[in-house]
Structure 1
Amino acid sequence: MSGSHVRLEPLTMDHAAGLLEAGADPGIWAWLSSRQPVELGEAEAIVKAALTDPDRRAWAQIDLASGRFAGTTSYYQIVAKHRILSIGHTWIGAGFQRTALNTEAKFLLLRNAFESWGAQRVAWETDARNLRSQRAIERLGALREGLLRAHRIRPDGTSRDTVLYSMTDAEWPGARARLLARLG
């Protein structure tokens, strides 16, 4: 999937070096379920974990202007029978934050989910303390559904509350128009 700012391509082991480089800022990893990789082998382990998870379809986000690896995003919790899936495991390197890259990546994922796969619902989950992520999800047009208490264990062993968001197929046309307007 490709737009004007980003190309989403299936994540492969060939992306590990780019993941290591784009993920060099420790702040990126504050809310993620993986610890920051500091050597190539650790980046390869993160990619391998994504690729071997049967419940996940991981994408590399490639910045079209530079051709560089910018981050990752994924479909996960895919239940074809119910036409539902989640978008997450998303992070973007510091140099690509606050650009159109993430908005366009989410637009491409949503368009594919609703218009190609026929999804009836797309969901997002984020750490209750990650207010920046919550605002970004809300800007997509997703609605906050609630809080899942003690939902996950963070890499540091603490308990995480998770904020749940969703968008339905009935809401997609309005969100689509707003996202296209934002992207210009």
Structure 2
Amino acid sequence: PHWATRELLMNAICHRTYESNGPIQFYQYNDRIELMNPGGLYGKVNAQNFPFVNDYRNPVIAEAMKVLGFVNRFSRGIIRVKEELKENGNGEPEFSLDLGTAFLVVEPISAEALKYYPSEEKSEEKSEEKSEEKKELSEMEKRVLEVIAGKPSATYAFISDNLGISETSVYNAVRHLKTGEWIKRKEGKKYGSWVVLKKNI
């Protein structure tokens, strides 16, 4: 839905950290939209009370956006986004709240829109995905895999500190490792751990 996507973009502008030069990232794929902004959850907001509790990293920007009509009501946006996506048949948005230095949200494509994809396009996408999975790992992905193999309970923050790279880079590396079936997650994001399915020899 247009409104839901717009609201998530407004949130990214309002709640990102401006101490970082990193851009807000907006990626549109055939099956989802991904939005990531620098700066994780802030203040009194945590993974347990999100999205029912709000706090403002940039109160002046938040107030200006409200006065200018970019947002209508504080503390209501994410709840309405979820309602809009559910009503449109997209299902639940996916929020990655454990990145620490970034905030990621994924909007899945609606089941209705999925019906209109030509079968040959689907086949082409699948073959591209498979060929991508077969590619060799980058040096950074190898290093991330080594850390995970040595410490299955490693968090994004731990890997970031250990390797001296951003948590966004860690997230992208882990996503590729999971897609290529190098690793998998068991028992959830908060209390789970990584399982190495194959090692880079």
TM-score (ref. length: structure 2):
0.27
Higher fraction of strand = 1
TM-score (ref. length: structure 1):
0.29
